[in-house]
Amino acid sequence: MLEGMQITLVLTIGGALLAMLIAVGLGLMAGSHRRWLKIPARIIIEFFRGTSLVVQLFFLFFVLPLFGLELPPIVVGIAGLGLNFGAYAAEVVRGSIAAVPPGQWEATTALSMSATQRMWRVIFPQAWAIMIPSLNNLLILLLKGTAIVSFITMFDLTASLDKLRIDTNVFFAYTVGLVIYFLLAYLLSLIMNALEARAKRKLGRGQSLRESMHFRTPRGANS
């Protein structure tokens, strides 16, 4: 059980980090005005969003070896989760950057800031505060996505639940499993809420740490 939980956590955190990297890269590309950046990014995003996570995982696990690329199962899991959720998150990043008031961009031009300075110091910090709730939702979906990885590749919380089921009674096994997933999701949400509060505080429109530790129902994200 503990081993399964470990693997679930590794998949979740690994997948999330990869997804974040991909999301920022793809998101910036998709939001760019340069067509040679925007169009490929758009295609990649729609491809990974439009096909199913399971298809992608199967592909990575069964098809890559045929091309000579044999990856350990946990890497396949992280790659699959990272690519799929990276695409969804890229949309969120793009949308959040677009939601930063145009006046902010104009101000940076008036101050002759370079593109890098502008993005790093002004635009992205504001977009970050906007995107956290949606990323929170995606993170929970990612956590839930780790459950299917076992059916394709390997041992994780869901598979170890199966073992537990054989030894004990069905209800106990899966109830325990559901509760553990729920607690993990709750914990992740609290962390994301705290991150959001911190980001907003840095922008001067904050709430106290105590307020941010309240569990807020994650708003429905458009998948």
Which of the stretches 25-33, 46-54, 118-126, 191-199 binds another protein when contact is defined by CB under 8 A?
46-54
Query: Is 145 a binder of another protein (CB under 8 A)?
Result: yes
Phi, psi torsion values for 72, nearest 5 degrees: -60, 145
> Looking at this protein, which amino acid is placed at residue 125?
P
Query: Is 167 a binder of another protein (CB under 8 A)?
Result: no
What gap in Å lies between CA 68 and CA 66, rounded to an integer?
5
Of the CA atoms within 13 Å of residue 19, those in its CB half-sphere come to 30
Which residue among 17, 21, 39, 63 contacts another protein (CB under 8 A)? 63
Which residue among 121, 144, 202, 214 contacts another protein (CB under 8 A)? 144
Query: Is 158 a binder of another protein (CB under 8 A)?
Result: yes
Of the CA atoms within 13 Å of residue 159, those in its CB half-sphere come to 15
Query: Is 219 a binder of another protein (CB under 8 A)?
Result: yes
- The footprint of another protein on this chain (CB under 8 A) covers a number of residues equal to 45
Residue 105 or 151 with smaller CB distance to another protein: 151
Query: Is 116 a binder of another protein (CB under 8 A)?
Result: no
Which of the stretches 10-18, 23-31, 105-113, 155-163 binds another protein when contact is defined by CB under 8 A?
155-163
What gap in Å lies between CA 84 and CA 31, rounded to an integer?
19
Query: Is 5 a binder of another protein (CB under 8 A)?
Result: no
> Looking at this protein, which amino acid is placed at residue 8?
T
* 86 CB neighbour count, 10 Å cutoff: 27
Residues 161 and 177 sit within 8 Å (Cβ to Cβ): yes
Which of the stretches 11-19, 96-104, 106-114, 176-184 binds another protein when contact is defined by CB under 8 A?
176-184
Residues 155 and 6 sit within 8 Å (Cβ to Cβ): no
Cα-based torsion angle of the residue sequence 67, 72, 148, 222 in order, rounded to the nearest 10 degrees:
-70
Residue 20 or 141 with smaller CB distance to another protein: 141
Query: Is 168 a binder of another protein (CB under 8 A)?
Result: no
Minimum distance of another protein from residue 184's CB (angstroms): 9
81 class by beta-carbon count within 10 Å (0-12 exposed, 13-18 middle, 19+ buried) = buried
Site for another protein, rule CB under 8 A: 46-47, 49-56, 58-59, 62-63, 66-67, 140, 143-148, 151, 158, 161-162, 165, 170-171, 174-175, 177-178, 181-182, 185-186, 189, 217-220, 222-223
